[in-house]
Every structure is written in C-alpha cells, then in structure tokens.
Amino acid sequence: MATARFIYDNPYKCSDVYYATKFLAPDPLVYFEFRGKKYIAVDVLEYGRAKKEAKVDKVLLAQNYTKNIEIRKGFVIEVMDVIFKKFGIKTLEVHPNFPFALAEQFAKLKYRVVSGKSPFFPERSQKNTYEKNAIIESQKATFKMIGLVEKILIESKIRGNRIYHKNKLLTSEMLKEAVLIEALKRDYMMTTGLIISCGNHTVDPHDDGEGFILPHKPIIVDIFPKSQKTNYCGDATRTFCKGKAPLALQKLYSTVKKAQEIGLSLIKAGINGRTIHGSITKYFDSLGYNTGKIKGAYQGFIHGTGHGLGLEVHDGEPTIGALDCVLKVGHVVSVEPGLYYRNIGGVRIEDIVYVTKTGCEILGHYPKKFEIL
Amino acid sequence: MATARFIYDNPYKCSDVYYATKFLAPDPLVYFEFRGKKYIAVDVLEYGRAKKEAKVDKVLLAQNYTKNIEIRKGFVIEVMDVIFKKFGIKTLEVHPNFPFALAEQFAKLKYRVVSGKSPFFPERSQKNTYEKNAIIESQKATFKMIGLVEKILIESKIRGNRIYHKNKLLTSEMLKEAVLIEALKRDYMMTTGLIISCGNHTVDPHDDGEGFILPHKPIIVDIFPKSQKTNYCGDATRTFCKGKAPLALQKLYSTVKKAQEIGLSLIKAGINGRTIHGSITKYFDSLGYNTGKIKGAYQGFIHGTGHGLGLEVHDGEPTIGALDCVLKVGHVVSVEPGLYYRNIGGVRIEDIVYVTKTGCEILGHYPKKFEIL
C-alpha cells in the first residue's frame, strides 16, 4: 500500500494535530503515520522541545533532509518529498482540512493524494478517563466563573432602571473582565471569547453582550474556557435575572429548564441526537413556543441542542440537532436548549454530559437559580 | 469565466476571512467574490449580527436555499451548490488552505476547483493608514506590558541565588500573570501565549519559560498580543538581566543589539530580506558567533531575522530570512536577531517596523536596557 496518513496544520488551530502529538507549536506542523508509527517533522527551532514533549514514535529533524537552516515556507514540499521517498510512501491520505494548494503540489510530484475520513481520528470523540477528568476539571472552573458573576449580581443593587455594584454602574464589560481575570488565575484561556449579554442582546445567541446589565431582564452567562494545562475545554450557560422577572420571561425560563431536563433524560448510548432535538422542539411547539421567521426575524429555538466538546469548545462530533448522529459511550456533549423572542428576551441553560450505556453523567454541577432578588 | 473566489474557514483561525469580511464568528464562514462583489453566507444564528457587522456587499441567509434550520455540517455543499448554480458559477478559485475533502466534493458536483494564489489577498501585507495605526496602538500596549515586567524586576531584590518581589520568590508564572492581567485590562488577548523565560530556558527560542527568575541570567520577555478591538497584533522582545551579567552574556547582548541596528539600517522598499538576514549572519560569524550544530545541539542564530505582522503575529508575508522576499512600502515586519548558546544563554531583541521607500519607521519605542542592578 505504502500509504501515509498526513496532516499539515497549526496545533493551535487544528486540535487533531495536538490530539495526535500532544505538542503545541505556533507554526504549522508536519505529522504523519506510516506502518503503525507516528512521526512529526520539525525544524531546529522546535526540535529540542519536540523531542521532549511530542508523544510520537519519532521526531524527524527537517535539516537532516535539506540544506537550509530556515525552511519555514519551503518546508513541507521539499522536506517531505525527501522523507516520503525514503520511506517508500506513494499515497497520502490527508486530513480533510489539508490545504488544497499543498495537495495539488504533492499531486504534481506524482503522489496519489486522497482525503482521509472526517473525523480523521474518530476515537477523539469518545473520551478516555484522562480526558473525562480533564473536562470535569475545566467544567468545575467554568462554574467557578459563573459563580463569580452570580456573586456580583447578588452583591449588586437595583436603583431605578440600572444596577450598581459597589456604587459602580454594572456593565457586561465589568463582568467579563472579572471572569477573564478569574480564568487567568486558574490558567484558563477564552480562545473564542465569552458571552455575558443582557436584555435585547440575549435575543441573538451569539451576541457576546455589551453595555449596561439591566434589572428585570434576562442575563445570559455562557462561558467556555480552555485549560492551558490540559488543553481541554469546559462550557456552561446559566441565565439570570436581577430583580423580579416579568411573567413571560419567568415562563420562558421554566420552559427551557424543563426542556433541558427532557434532553438530559433521553441521552444514552445508541440514541440519535436528532431524536432528542426533535423531542425538545416538539415540547416547545406544544407550549406555543414556535421556531421560525416571526416578523422578519428568526426566533424560537434557533440553534441545535448540543455539540461535542473536548480539545475544542465545538468539537465536530457528536451533535444533538437536526442531523443524524448516534451517541456513543464516552461522547461528551452539551445539552443547551434555548428560546429567543424579541418581545421577551433569550434564555439558555447549558450543561455538559458524559454519555454512558444507560444514560449520562452530568459533568460538574451548578444550581439553576434564575431570579436574584 | 463564471469564476468565484471562495473561502470556507473560521475567521478566528484564518485571518483572511476576517480581513475580507471584518466579521468574527466562532464557526467556519462561507465567503466568496463574484464579478467584483463580496458575499458571505451564514445561517440564522449569525444572520442578524452579520448584516450589522460584515463589510461585504451582501449577506446571504442559508435558510433561503435549504429547508433545514440547523445546517452547520451539511451547510457548505448543499447550500453553496444552490447558490453557485443560481449565480451561474462554474469555477471555484479556492483559498490555498481550502479543506481538501470539501474541494473533492465540489469537484464531484462538476465544479472546476483551482487553487488561488498564496497569499490569497496579496494587498494584506501592505498596510494602509488604518492598519498601521492599529499596529502602532497594539505595539504601544505591548511595550506597556514589557514595561510592567521591567518595573517588577526593578522593584525586586536579589537574595543569594534567588530574586524576590515584595518578599515573594519571583517566577516566570508570576510575571506572566501580571502581564496577562495588564493585557486583559487593555483589551488584548494572547492568542498563542507569551514568553518570559530565564537562564537555560532562554537557549530555546520557543520555550515560554517556567519556574524561578534567576539573578545574573538572561531573562527574555517576548510579548505578542492581539487587540480585541482592532484584531491587529503587536510583537516585541527585550532581554533583561537582574543583577550584573557575566562578561560573556554582556558581550552576547551588545552583539545582538548591534545586529538589530544593522538590520534596521538596511531595511527599505526594494531590498531582499535574504540580504538583510545574510548581513546579520555574516556579522555574527565575523565575531565568532557561529550557527549550527554544536555539541549535538543547534546553537547560534537559529531563527529568521523577521516575520510579517498584522492580523496575525506571524503573517505569511514578508519574511526576513533565508528565503527570497523583496520588501515593499507598507510592509510591517519584525527585526529580531537573537543568539542562543548553551554555555551563555539566549538573547533576543525585537522591534517591528513599517517599511518606507527610503528606510523604515520603528513602530512604538522602548529603551533597550539590559542589566537591572
């Protein structure tokens, strides 16, 4: 066969590279598998560290295959052609995200280039004990951060149409800064930001929030930090309301809370995510919480129920949504129904779970308290 | 022709998407150009925000071309096939990093898929006034962070073989935390970490440092934050020594400082980066600071002189190194020679410059003080 499985990507940008090597470097990395062995090729700048840190069978030093000492750009083609020829490799089964231009260049050098399956490492979605524990640790930290926001909301006072914390007008920016500092001290990084939105901002699930935190309005706190130590993520959402919530908002909250319970009760190995998502949608519909274009804007349950989580906040697999995806033992997935209506606001509640044969374990625990009076 | 230029990538991971759209979203985004107009296609989750924020001619709502409301995964192929057919597009000139598997699928649908040139937006390397000012702002913030480290080193006291700050043993971790909090307050993010290394750690340019900051040893402070406001980066390095430096280290420092001056004096539009890198290498060699394998380890000037900088810390273009790259007006590039020897330590000094017709402007200014007594 003489086929190598081959990735060329930045481990900070493509978690599959990190997954395969346990090595982080700021520039793209060559990784390949051949005859059951794992290799990376790096230049002198990374060689020392790679030898120490990379969990592969062999670290190849690019300079042994080229004359240049600085080979960043011409690296892959020139060096890998020499290496692949030496190994007798003729077919490259590349990562689905392999750069198209590079694939073309290898094809010109007479390699047969075929796309590897997606996901490239199917086993990545089923977490082992180390990974599960790493996620639990990250999820605990996530809840500490949500707890910090709740604490500030508890300490705050409503005056008129504003909220004050220690006599300062409370804003989304202040809360985010407090969370980010907490994250930092715990050695977590927000690789794609965080959401602390209030009022009208909550109607758009990806609006990360800005400006005043207002009383009697929904406050969505969605935090998804990545551990700098293990590189595994946490992800959780709570919706709060400082002061009494209007009745429609109270109802929205209890509906979403119940929907999450429905989702959690259905999860187990063998079930199709689509079934779970369908049950929640049906539940919402049955109460008149419809989804679709309302007065020109998409409203209702306008996102999936859950996404896989691991080295990335949004891992490719599994999903709980409109697409078929059968859950397996060891899958870690979020359960986060939400409802978003212009005239009421947005509510989302999210936990992550570990799928078992008979159900699921919720990873990390945090109360679901809505109104903070 | 009926050719569209086409990108499918995550704007957090591929700066070209952000460059083209000025829109950030946590999931991959469809961007294409056709007959001089720019389009993005998003699903309902991003539609509202995209309409407000994306700097494109038209935001297409995926749901207008498919029945599913959640289309994350099947999105691209299904939706884009409908859209491309409607526009009469037959050839896809894809981004060099376009996912290979996706290209194959479009090819199966009878599109001609060809690779666009690298860089996909050549104009991105030549900064306009807005971009230059954004980088200056980021670089000023970078120097504030380096200044904070220097201030802590000034305030610290040597006791025996250790350094104490406010009676606490000074470590790399403490300094990093201080810098990260400062970054946060200024609304900057360290997307690929930061380097505060000391002693033996400095010999490996990409070792980010850990443990005690030691007296009489080199301390490399290399900080490269990205503005959350403009998304442009800064990047600067200073090397310090708390207490008197050994003579060999003093000499190493003054040599690298002089080398940087040589580099800065040579930069102007029209010069080949390779010439500059060659001059610095020659200068080092002339003083006996050779580069290569010494006692089994690569030592000396083991990296390039500089890299392009903009939306990413390491932009693809330009480079000042072993490869040909002619500098152009508007290029922003780092000038960061360094020397690394096991028996002395590592020294690196880095500034970034804006290339002009006759020379360069150094962006941001910070003194080069080595010993902190």
Residues A85 and A230 in one domain: no
Q: Identify the pLDDT of residue B74.
A: 62
Report the mean per-residue pLDDT for chain B. 94
Residues B28 and B59 in one domain: yes
Yes or no, beta carbons of A48 and B297 under 8 Å apart = yes
With bands split at pLDDT 50, 70 and 90, how would you rate the model's confidence at B197?
very high
> In terms of domains, do A103 and A228 share one?
no
Percent of chain B clearing pLDDT 70 (strictly above): 98
Distance CA A92, CA A111 (A): 7
Of the pLDDT bands very low, low, confident and very high (cuts 50, 70, 90), residue A146 is very high
Instruction: Using an 8 Å CB-CB cutoff, list chain B residues near A13.
Output: 13
Which of A328, A299, A372, A373 minimizes the C-alpha distance to A150? A372
Q: Write down the ipTM of this complex.
A: 0.85
| Domain end position, chosen among B102, B120, B138 | B120
Q: How close does chain A come to B68, measured CA to CA in Å?
A: 7
Q: Do B314 and A94 touch (CB under 8 A)?
A: no
Which residue's structure tokens are 């500490």? A144
The alpha-carbon gap from A260 to the nearest alpha carbon of chain B, in Å, equals 18
Asked whether residue B142 falls in the same domain as residue B290, the answer is yes
Backbone angles phi, psi at B221, to 5 degrees: -120, 105
Do residue B313 and residue A12 have CB atoms under 8 angstroms apart?
Answer: no
CB contact under 8 A, B323 and A73: yes
Q: Which of A99, A204, A314 sits opposite B96 (nearest CB)?
A: A99
Q: Test A68 with B322 for CB contact under 8 angstroms.
A: yes
Same domain? A336 vs A282: yes
Could you tell me which of A19, A63, A62 has the C-alpha nearest to residue A40?
A: A62
Rounded-to-integer distance, Cα B246 and Cα B239, Å: 14
Cα–Cα distance between B24 and B49 in angstroms, integer? 10
Number of domains in chain A: 2
| pLDDT of res. A313 | 94
Alpha carbon distance B199, B343 (integer Å): 10
Whether pLDDT at A194 is above 80: yes
Residue B347 sits in the same domain as residue B209: yes
The CATH code of the domain that includes A156 is 3.90.230.10
Tokens 């001059």 -> residue: B279
Alpha-carbon gap, residue A203 to A154, rounded angstroms: 24
Per-residue pLDDT at B302 exceeds 70: yes
Among positive and negative, which fits the CA dihedral A120, A123, A125, A131?
A: negative
User: In this structure, are residues A331 and A203 in contact, taking their beta carbons and an 8 Å threshold?
Assistant: no
SS3 B302: coil
**Contact between chains at B100 and A101 (C-beta distance less than 8 A):** no
Task: Name beta bridge partners: A227.
Answer: A188
Any idea what the Cα angle at residue B231 is, between residues B228 and B236, rounded to 5°? 95
- Read off the tokens for A210: 């800005």
Mutate to test the interface with B, among A51, A63, A69 (most CBs of B within 10 A): A69
- pLDDT of residue A91 exceeding 60: yes
How crowded is residue A196: how many other Cβ atoms within 10 Å of its Cβ? 25
Q: Which residues of B touch A27 (CB under 8 A)?
A: 314
Residue B21 pLDDT > 60, yes or no? yes
Does A46 lie in the same domain as A145?
no
> Which residues make beta-bridge pairs with B236?
B223
- Tell me which of A97, A100, A195, A342 to substitute to probe the interface with B (most B C-beta atoms closer than 10 Å): A100
Residues of A with Cβ-Cβ distance to B209 under 8 angstroms: none
Q: Which of A12, A185, A206 has its CB closest to that of B49?
A: A206
- A65 and A161 both lie in a single domain: no
Interface test with A, best of B70, B208, B235 (most A CBs within 10 A): B70
Residue B69 reports pLDDT greater than 80: no
Given an 8 Å threshold on Cβ–Cβ distance, is B323 in contact with A297? no
pLDDT single digits (tens) B323-353: 899 999 999 999 999 999 999 999 999 999 9
**A291-315: burial string, b at 16+ Cβ within 10 Å, e else:** beeeeebbbbbbbbbbbbbbbbbbb
Proportion of chain A above pLDDT 70, given as a percent? 98
Rounded distance, CA A155 to CA A148, Å? 11
Looking at B93, B120, B147, the residue that finishes a domain is B120
Only one residue has tokens 């700048």, namely A45
Closest Cα in chain B, distance from residue A158 (Å): 26
Phi-psi domain of B49 (left: phi exceeds 0; alpha: psi -120 through 50; beta: other): alpha
User: pLDDT category, B73, cuts 50, 70, 90?
Assistant: low
Q: How far is A92 from chain B (nearest CA, A)?
A: 12
Task: Tell me the per-residue pLDDT of B86-129, one tens digit each, with 9 for 90 and over.
Answer: 999 999 999 999 999 999 999 999 999 999 998 999 999 999 99
Tell me what pLDDT residue A11 has. Answer: 87
Mean pLDDT of A142-167: 97
> B255: pLDDT confidence band, cut at 50, 70 and 90?
very high
Is residue A122's pLDDT more than 60?
yes
Residues B330 and B189 in one domain: yes
Residue B284 has φ and ψ, to the nearest 5°, of -60, -50
The CATH number of the domain holding residue A47 is 3.40.350.10
Contact A100 B101 (CB under 8 A): no
Question: Last residue of a domain, which of B75, B99, B120?
Answer: B120
Q: Between β-strands A297-299 and A292-294, what pairing exists: parallel, antiparallel or unpaired?
A: antiparallel
**Chain B CA closest to residue A302:** B45
Predicted structure pTM score? 0.88
**Is A97 within 8 Å of A78 (Cβ atoms)?**
no
Task: Quick: pLDDT tens for A52-64.
Answer: 999 999 999 988 8
Domain span holding position A266: 126-372
Is the domain of B184 the same as that of B87?
no
Q: Which residues of A touch B95 (CB under 8 A)?
A: 100
The CA-atom distances, in angstroms, between B67 and each of A350, B3, B64, B188 are 27, 27, 8, 40
Query: B182 and B136 share a domain?
Result: yes
**pLDDT, position B68:** 61
B246 has a pLDDT exceeding 60: yes
* Closest to B100 (Cα-Cα) out of A113, A9, A11, A76: A113
pLDDT of residue B76: 84
Q: Please give the mean pLDDT across all residues of chain A.
A: 94
The pLDDT-based confidence of A78 (bands split at 50, 70, 90) is confident
pLDDT tens per residue across span A279-336: 999 999 999 999 988 888 889 999 999 999 999 998 889 999 988 999 999 999 999 9
Task: Give yes or no for a cis peptide into A119 (omega within 30° of 0).
Answer: yes
A363 CB-near residues (< 8 Å, 6+ apart): A132, A135, A136, A139, A332, A351, A352, A353, A354
Mean pLDDT, residues A98-116: 95
Shared-domain flag, residues B248 and B101: no
| Chosen from B52, B100, B190 to mutate, greatest number of chain A CBs within 10 A | B100
Q: Identify the pLDDT of residue A69.
A: 52
- Average of pLDDT values for B133-139? 98
How far apart are the C-alpha atoms of A204 and A299, rounded to whole Å?
9
Partners of residue A48 in chain B, C-beta under 8 Å? 204, 297-298
Mean pLDDT for the stretch of residues A205-234: 96
pLDDT at A251: 98
How far CA B150 is from CA of B147, B165, B207, B339, B372, in Å, comes to 5, 12, 20, 21, 8
Give the chain B residue nearest A207 (alpha carbons): B49
